Each structure stands twice: as structure tokens, then as C-alpha cells.
Amino acid sequence: MGTRFEPTDGPARPDPFALPPDPGSAVAFHTARGVTRGVNRRELLKWFSAGAGAAAVGGGAWLAGRGGEGASGGSSPMGTAPGGADGGGDGPMATAPRSMQVPAAPADRLLVMIELAGGNDGLSMAAPLGDGRYRDLRPSLAEPEGDPFVLDAATALHPRLARVATRGPAVLQGVGSLQPDYSHFEMQVRWWEGSPDASRVYDTGVLGRLADAVGDPDAPVVALSVSDGAHPIMFSRTASTLTVPDVGATWYLTGANSDDVLRQRFQRAYRAFGADAAEPYTARRREVMERTVRLAEAVGEWDDDDHGGYRDDRLGNGLRMALRLFDRGVGLRIVHITMDGGFDTHDGHGWKYPELMSALDDNLGAFFDDLDAAGMADKVLVATMSEFGRTVGENGSGGLDHGAAASMLLLGPVMAGVHGEAPSFAGLSAEDGLPATLSFDHYFGTIAERWFGVPSSEVIDGGTEVIDGLFAG
């Protein structure tokens, strides 16, 4: 890999998704329900519509899945509607089922927002099927190794998202700024503030405002970020929000046993400070200290050796902490976890990205298993955010540079399948990002209004339009 791609209408490149030479060999394929089926070569060819065939005749233009005869025609082996349940019918491919999960009442609903920091390539996470232009722009990266999980006629999840795929995921396409910037810093600040074109400057964060709208003002923690620093997305007016770098942060304030004399004394005296406060700031801090102790006690002891199926990384530990705190009645409604350290794939995207997806999949798989076991699966929405997507074409280093809009992934009581307006590659060159079809403040506004049942204007000044049909129930 590594030669710089020049867009051309010339002969098609070798198909990176080329089929095995043996016509009769069965290829393992996954459905969005996680059912693995055998597909023979002929079915697969049909499945990818004109795919390899068109390339072979030199047209260079894969028929798009949408409107392509193979994909949407009656002869397609896969269903077409996002909600079209195909539970073992005729075709070998099943699309994502409609969510079976009826969500809890709005007052009981919870949000886990995972920030894929660095700029997540939404096209790799939820790839367009059968779009020749896309494949031309990404000669070596359009089709990662492994079998993708089909969401609808035009979209498939990354092959490493096996456990996510079993959970009826929703993908919301084209989320970004209508007036994008390409700086990490600038776009992160805009996302954190909830201000897509920076025309409105907030001194609070978008999840902080959501916490103000949905939280109990006396709760020890309404919104928690597991990140470095004091995360600006958490800044709130009234609700208690906080950032902790790791799960060990509460060790100092709780759980000293009788052998641990020093920590015992420390914890006892900490609880006594300011109890007699008359001065207003001291009294206010005393309230904060009481909440801090309540939070620390809710987190409780933490076994650093047993990760319970999660990875020992920030996302895994953050999800474990979220589950525990959700379960222990401290008023927590929103968790934000920064999954950092790798989405900025300017080079080596082909080997870096699958590892990122595996980490996401392992952790979310363990989390949803735990939610099932705790009987909480109807309460929790998992959603992703990222400051921008990446360029549609690959660069000379086998990587992708800063782009614009990207797909967001949603899990939980969502309507499985693909939502929002699909990206178009028409007229884009390799260096372009995908233009947004949905301003990201509408994404937050939709979560506020349709998931938490509070007006979008509580979170975004002036309110936003909302996307219908994203959530079940």
C-alpha cells in the first residue's frame, strides 16, 4: 500500500474484495443478527450487485446499492428495508431487525456517549456497499479484511463489530457541521459546546446542559466523564458533573479497612470538615464534599485484576464504572467516555482501524451482556461522537486525513438500521471530507427530545429539528 491515489475514470483497480477463486466455496457471512450463514459465490456476486462484474468489464462504476438492480431488486438475496425482519427467510442475508427492546420511561433513561477522539472515519465504521466511486477513492482501504455486517442495501458495519452487530445497532449518517473546520481543536470545542458553526459561544458544555435539564440538582453526580482533565463537555450550570481519569479516583475517600490506619483517619476527618460551616462558600463546599463521599461509596471497592470481559482500557473501565453507578442510585444519567489514542489515522489506517473496532466491540459486547444481566438494557442508550470524519480518499501513507461529516453509531432501544441522509460521493475528490447532511446540534437535540423527553431548546439555544424514528417505543 502507499501509492498516492489519483482519481480517474479509467479502468477499475483490482477488487480488494475479490472472491475466492473456487466458484463453489462458501464464504462465511454475518447478518446483523449475528447469524452466520454460508453464501456461495454466485449469491455473493448478486449480493454485491454489479460489484466485481462491473469492474471486470472495465466500467469502473460499481452500481450503487441504492437503486442498483442487484441490491434493491426482488432478486436480491438480502432484504432492503432497515426494519425488514428477515429472520431465516429465503435469502441468506438478513438485515438488521427492528429493535426488540421497548425503552424504559423517559425519566429512567440513561445515556452513554462515547467520544471517538481524533476523528473517526465513519465510512470505515459503517461502509457504503456497492458504491464504485467510494471504492475508487479508497483503492486499498474500502474493504477491510473480514466479512462485514449488513445493515441495509447500501451499508454494512465493520467486520470487527461482531458483537455490536448482534445488538440491533442504528447508524445515523452524515452528522457534522455544515460549515466545517478541519482543526481537531476547533471542531472538538464546537462539539463540546454544541455549536456546529461556532456562531454561538456557550460557557457550558452540551452534555452539561443536558445534565442540567434531566438531572436531580441534589444528586452527587448527574453526568460523569471518564477522560483526562476537566472535560469541557461536562460544564454545567446547576447539575453536578465531573470528570475522572480512571476508576481509582475514589480510592482516597472510601473503603479503608482497619489495617489501613492512615487512610482511615484521612477518610474520617474528611467527612467532618465544614460540618459547622456558617460562611456560604464553606457551606456550599460542604454540600459538594457530602456528594463526593456518596459518589465514592457508590463506586466502592474496585478489583483491578478482574475486568469481567471488558478490556483494561479507558473505555472498558469507564463502562464498568458507568454500569455500577447506574445501578446504585446516585442520580447518574449521563456518562461520557473518551476513547482516545488512535482514531487520527493519517497513516496505517488499514491495520490501525480494525484494532480500534475490536476494542469498541469487546467493550460494548461485555457492557450489553452486563446490562442484560442487570435488567437495564431498556434504560441505556449508547451513542458515539467524534469531532470529524476523515477524507473520502486515502493519502500516500495508507491513511486518511481530516474530513468533515461521519456516521454515528447508536445502540440500545434504537430502531436498528440506517438513518439519515446517505452521503453522496458525487463530485468529491480524494482530499474532500463528506459534506454533512445533518448538523450535529440536531443530533444532540434529538437525543434530548426523543430519548430524554426534554425540549431540544434546553440543550441547544433556540432548539433544533429532531430526527424521527431513531428510538424504539
Partner 1 sequence: MKAGFTTGSWSLVHGAGMSLLTLSSGRRRVRAAAMADDDLRRHVLNRLTFGATGEAVDAAAVLSPGDLVEALLDASPRDLGMPVMHGDDDWSTVPQWWFDVMRHPGAGLHERMVWFWHGHLTSSMDTSSPALMFRQQVIFRRHAAGSFRDLLQEVTVDPAMLFWLNGAWSTADNPNENYARELMELFALGRNNGYTEDDVHQAAVALSGWWVDGDHDDRVEFDPERGPRHTVPLFGGRVGSAAEVIDAVCDHPACAPHIAGALYRALHGVDPADDVRAELAAVFADGGLQLRPLLEATVRHPTFLGNPQPRPRSHLEWYIALCRFLRRDDVDVWPLYSLGQMPFSPPNVAGWPGNDRWLSVGAELTKAQLAFDLMWDAAPPDSDDVVGELCWRAGISPGPATRAALDEAYVTGPDEWEPYRSVMALIPLTPEFNII
Return the residue matching grid coordinates 489519483: 6
Return the residue matching grid coordinates 428510538: 471
Which is it for strands 380-385 and 110-116: parallel, antiparallel or unpaired? parallel
Taking the C-alpha atoms of residue 379 and residue 414, their distance in angstroms, rounded to an integer, is 11
Of 95 and 243, which has the nearer Cβ to partner 1?
Answer: 243
Of 130 and 205, which has the nearer Cβ to partner 1?
Answer: 205
Taking the C-alpha atoms of residue 295 and residue 293, their distance in angstroms, rounded to an integer, is 5
Q: Which of 41, 285, 346, 352 binds partner 1 (CB under 8 A)?
A: 285
Q: Provide the minimum distance between the beta carbon of 235 and partner 1 in the complex, in angstroms, as a whole number.
A: 7
Count other C-beta atoms under 10 Å from residue 160's C-beta. 25
Return the residue matching grid coordinates 491515489: 5
Q: Answer yes or no whether residue 4 interacts with partner 1 by CB under 8 A.
A: no
Q: Provide the minimum distance between the beta carbon of 54 and partner 1 in the complex, in angstroms, as a whole number.
A: 44
| Cβ atoms 200, 206 nearer than 8 A | no
Q: Which of 17, 182, 266, 302 binds partner 1 (CB under 8 A)?
A: 266
Of 187 and 430, which has the nearer Cβ to partner 1?
Answer: 187
With H, G, I as helix, E, B as strand and everything else as coil, classify residue 472: coil
Q: Which of 281, 304, 312, 462 binds partner 1 (CB under 8 A)?
A: 281
Q: Which of 145, 288, 355, 429 binds partner 1 (CB under 8 A)?
A: 288
Residue 60: which region, alpha, beta or left (left: phi > 0; alpha: psi -120 to 50)?
left
Q: Answer yes or no whether residue 329 interacts with partner 1 by CB under 8 A.
A: no
Phi/psi of residue 317, nearest 5 degrees: -65, -35
Count other C-beta atoms under 10 Å from residue 5's C-beta. 17
Q: Provide the minimum distance between the beta carbon of 228 and partner 1 in the complex, in angstroms, as a whole number.
A: 7
Q: Which of 57, 102, 272, 426 binds partner 1 (CB under 8 A)?
A: 272
Of 125 and 224, which has the nearer Cβ to partner 1?
Answer: 224
Q: Which of 102, 107, 269, 426 binds partner 1 (CB under 8 A)?
A: 269
Q: Which of 129, 295, 383, 434 binds partner 1 (CB under 8 A)?
A: 295
Residue 155 is which amino acid?
T
Choose the binding region for partner 1 from 100-108, 292-300, 308-316, 354-362 (rule: CB under 8 A): 292-300
Taking the C-alpha atoms of residue 140 and residue 130, their distance in angstroms, rounded to an integer, is 15
Binding flags for partner 1, 181-210, as an x/- string (CB under 8 A): --x-xx--x---x----x--x-x-------
Of 107 and 262, which has the nearer Cβ to partner 1?
Answer: 262
Q: How many Cα atoms within 13 Å fall on the side-chain side of residue 309?
A: 13
Of 235 and 310, which has the nearer Cβ to partner 1?
Answer: 235
Of 45 and 178, which has the nearer Cβ to partner 1?
Answer: 178
β-bridge partners, 149: 30, 157
Of 285 and 450, which has the nearer Cβ to partner 1?
Answer: 285
Q: Provide the minimum distance between the beta carbon of 272 and partner 1 in the complex, in angstroms, as a whole number.
A: 4
Q: Provide the minimum distance between the beta carbon of 441 and partner 1 in the complex, in angstroms, as a whole number.
A: 17
Binding flags for partner 1, 217-256, as an x/- string (CB under 8 A): ---xx------xxx-x--x----xxxxxx---xx-xx---
Q: Provide the Cα torsion 72, 76, 79, 81; round to 10°.
A: 0
Q: Which of 275, 300, 341, 465 binds partner 1 (CB under 8 A)?
A: 275
Of 19 and 256, which has the nearer Cβ to partner 1?
Answer: 256
Return the residue matching grid coordinates 468533515: 404
Intra-chain end-to-end CA distance of the chain, in Å: 47
What lies within 8 Å, CB to CB, of 427 at 6+ separation is: none
Of 25 and 238, which has the nearer Cβ to partner 1?
Answer: 238
Helix H segments across 177-257?
Answer: 184-193, 206-214
With H, G, I as helix, E, B as strand and everything else as coil, classify residue 252: helix
| Cβ atoms 397, 349 nearer than 8 A | no
Helix H segments across 340-404?
Answer: 349-373
Give the footprint of partner 1 on this chain (CB under 8 A): 183, 185-186, 189, 193, 198, 201, 203, 220-221, 228-230, 232, 235, 240-245, 249-250, 252-253, 261-263, 265-266, 268-270, 272-277, 279, 281-282, 284-286, 288-289, 291-292, 295-296
